[in-house]
Chains A and B, each alone.
Chain A
């Protein structure tokens, strides 16, 4: 079943909008992630889709039918909660069967559905246990089984993995993805974790400041982030964002005297932000022309994150192979080796990747080489 959000807004007092003009069409069978920092309204949006809180403005359609004002049960969807919302006084089986029993379904049908759901999440052996006797991962699966048993084709998940430890989270990530595909669910998945969103979702909506910042596939979001918020939210370690001043007479700016960028000259003189991912920077420790000092090194196994301070005191994060022999306070030469992005000064708009314009302008070639 497809879901369409048309200019959906939420306000509690009529003037301050927690969400404004959110529009997206989610296709049948799509895994759609809503990601954003805490407090950005992502759970509110999910609860509006679920019908648990009213939609202030806009329209919600499920399979082209307007459901904006329908109660939750008439929207034919199911939801998995962050704290799982299991009933501690019922055993696993009864927890899964709760909604079905309340709807007075006949007991043989309930049994088949419950058993089928428990089989899918590998909990058949635990059906008599109370939630208190299960591990976190197993409780999570009971919640999934309950969603499966309801047989709804739309499933909403509100940070379902955030209470699990890192290892289990990785495992459940692929399990949820497999289940979603096996059952052909249209899944809306709310998370604050960009890795979860990128690894699981077909498309991602990045939410911040009450607005959808970007709606796209993971790779598009990573490659062409629409603004600095998206750019720094996706990718670990975070993208470096440096203020840069382009001058009329093509004199290199302060940053550029230290770090070399290639920038198309179609940009007007003015202030910009340049974004460089840590893996698009390189360190040369033997070069005699140094421009930075190493301040800290985070060892991460295959690679290390080097924190370096440019001579104009801007901080950079640089990803290097951990076999490199660097030490703090060492003077090095840092250079740009990969993609970089030019954003407008307020960070709201991506103007340029180093391949050329993103806004459809003809100019493709980097025409000016700024250097030290």
Chain B
């Protein structure tokens, strides 16, 4: 009895409260907004401090001459940009970068795909090979650089000894311009393979086996199966890997610094390495900023083109 008597009062009270809140412009989502800000705040702060501010600062600096502490001194407008595009050294650097990026991307994807396809075979000891193929994921750049320096060493290197044993003239891998680029490409592809292999291997495993069985029953050859089932089925993965590889190789720094330091004769002086040199060795922060902006634009452009071209081929 008591509760029954209480209940109506309670209802009236709560209704009154609600209408009062509504009339005062009470926003039921205000609390949600507060939570959103609370949750996003920390990462927003970190991003702002370490990404957005440096980005804007870089764009700002690219219009200035700086002293060697990185302080802007004279506003020069677009002169930094004009200077770069009329500099032969910079254009060479740009071309070298394009050659490097394209070569690395093509070889990484092709070799990664071949290894992944090979690793799907059910043969004895396949797990050993799967581990080996993905092992470079756990190798740091410095270790990789030392490893490849050993291999490429003109006197005691593995390759030189192999060439000598085969009665061929050993190649000066790191001191001849053309070969230095080749050596850098080989080492980078090797470094990339672990990750690429793993991603491709996962993608290949997820292709339903019945698709191949259906093809087998129709008498479709293995190579036709690869090009007309496997490749289209993993095309989204190929797309993903190609974009990652492209962006990563535009940003390559460690191997170059440790193996050739941009040499010989600037043959491997890629855009990122040039930025590093201009900023931290030459103290020319304005110019380095300009180069950074240009590199960012180039990467964005390439990614955009890739999206446009590959999107049409990734059809499901």
Residues of A within 8 A of B (CB): 47, 50-52, 71-74, 77-79, 81-83, 85, 87-90, 98-100, 102-103, 130, 132, 146, 150
Contacts and interface: CB of A to CB of B under 8 A. Distances in A.
Contacts of B50: none
A254 to B, nearest CB: 52
B32 interface: no
A136 to B, nearest CB: 16
B213 A89 contact: no
A146 B210 CA distance: 14
19 contacts: A50-B213, A50-B217, A52-B216, A52-B217, A71-B216, A72-B217, A72-B219, A73-B217, A74-B219, A77-B217, A81-B213, A87-B211, A87-B232, A98-B220, A98-B228, A100-B218, A103-B219, A103-B220, A130-B316
B137 interface: no
Interface of B: 208, 210-211, 213-221, 224, 228-229, 232-233, 235, 315-316
Given A82-B210, A83-B210, 10 more contacts: A52-B217, A71-B219, A72-B216, A73-B217, A77-B217, A81-B210, A87-B211, A89-B315, A102-B218, A146-B214
Contacts of B216: 51-52, 71-73
A99 B235 contact: no
A275 to B, nearest CB: 39
A320 B315 CA distance: 56
A348 B229 CA distance: 47
Contact of B232 (A52, A89, A99, A100): A89
B215 A102 contact: yes
Contacts of A102: 215, 218-221, 224, 228
A74 B218 CA distance: 9
Given A79-B213, A83-B210, A98 B316 contact: no
Contacts of A78: 217-218
A132 B316 contact: yes
A326 to B, nearest CB: 42
A177 to B, nearest CB: 22
A365 to B, nearest CB: 55
A89 B235 CA distance: 10
A89 B316 contact: yes
Nearest to B225: A102
B238 to A, nearest CB: 13
Given A81-B214, A132-B316, A99 B229 contact: no
Nearest to A84: B210
Contacts of A90: 232
Contact of B218 (A47, A81, A99, A130): A99
Contacts of B316: 88-89, 130, 132
A98 B215 contact: yes
Contacts of A82: 210
